[in-house]
Amino acid sequence: MKVTGVVFDCDGVLADSDEAWHAVEVEFCARHGVDRSSLDIDTHGLSMVDSVALLMAGRPDVDASKVTPEFIDLAETLVPRRVRPLPGAREAVAGWQRIAPVAVASNSPRTVLTAVLDAIDVGGLLATSVAADEVSSPKPAPDVYLEACARLGVNPDEVLVFEDSVAGALAAFAAGCHVIQVEARGSAPIPGVLAMVGTRQMGPTLAMDQLALQ
- AA letter at 30: A
**The most confident of 1-5, 182-186, 206-210, by mean pLDDT:** 1-5
d(CA 150, CA 171): 15
Nearest 10 degrees: CA dihedral of 46, 51, 54, 59?
A: -170
Task: Give tens-digit pLDDT for 140-155.
Answer: 999 999 999 999 999 9
- In this predicted structure, what is the pLDDT of residue 214? 46
Compare 45 and 53 and report the one with higher pLDDT. Answer: 53
Nearest 10 degrees: CA dihedral of 15, 101, 171, 204?
A: -70
Q: Is 133 a catalytic residue?
A: no
Confidence class of residue 122 from pLDDT cuts 50, 70 and 90? very high
Average pLDDT over residues 169-189: 92
d(CA 4, CA 47): 28
d(CA 125, CA 107): 20
Percent of the chain with pLDDT over 70: 96
Q: Is 121 a catalytic residue?
A: no
Confidence class of residue 175 from pLDDT cuts 50, 70 and 90? very high
Burial (Cβ within 10 Å: 0-12, 13-18, ≥19) of residue 62: middle
d(CA 214, CA 171): 23
d(CA 14, CA 195): 17
Confidence class of residue 44 from pLDDT cuts 50, 70 and 90? confident
Strand ranges, E, within the chain: 5-8, 15-16, 84-85, 102-105, 128-130, 159-163, 178-182, 195-197
Task: Give tens-digit pLDDT for 47-80.
Answer: 888 999 999 998 988 898 899 999 999 999 999 9
Task: Give tens-digit pLDDT for 13-39.
Answer: 999 998 998 999 999 999 999 989 888
Task: Give tens-digit pLDDT for 85-119.
Answer: 999 999 999 999 999 999 999 999 999 999 999 99
